[in-house]
Amino acid sequence: MSGQTPAIIGLIGDVHAEDGLLEQGLGFLAARGVDGILCTGDIVGGLGDVDRCCELLARHDVRTVRGNHDRWFLKGEVLYSASDRDAVGEASRRFLTSLPPTVELRTAAGATLLCHGLGENDMASLKPDDHGYGLESNRDLQRLVETRPCRLVVAGHTHARMVRSLNGVAFVNPGTLLRHQGPGLALLDLPQAAVSFFDLVDGSVRLASTHGLGCT
Model pLDDT, residue 216: 43
Residues 88-103: tens digit of each pLDDT = 999 999 999 999 999 9
At the top level of CATH, which class does the domain 8-99+110-131+158-212 belong to?
alpha beta
Residues 40-50: tens digit of each pLDDT = 999 999 999 99
- pTM equals 0.95
Does residue 163 contact residue 172 with C-beta atoms inside 8 Å? Answer: yes
Does residue 74 contact residue 100 with C-beta atoms inside 8 Å? Answer: no
Model pLDDT, residue 83: 63
Residue 1 binned pLDDT confidence (cut-offs 50, 70, 90): low
Residue 201 has pLDDT above 90, yes or no: yes
What lies within 8 Å, CB to CB, of 112 at 6+ separation is 104, 105, 106, 150, 151, 152, 153, 154
Does residue 11 contact residue 188 with C-beta atoms inside 8 Å? Answer: yes
β-strand partners of 154: 114, 172
Average pLDDT score over residue span 107-136? 95
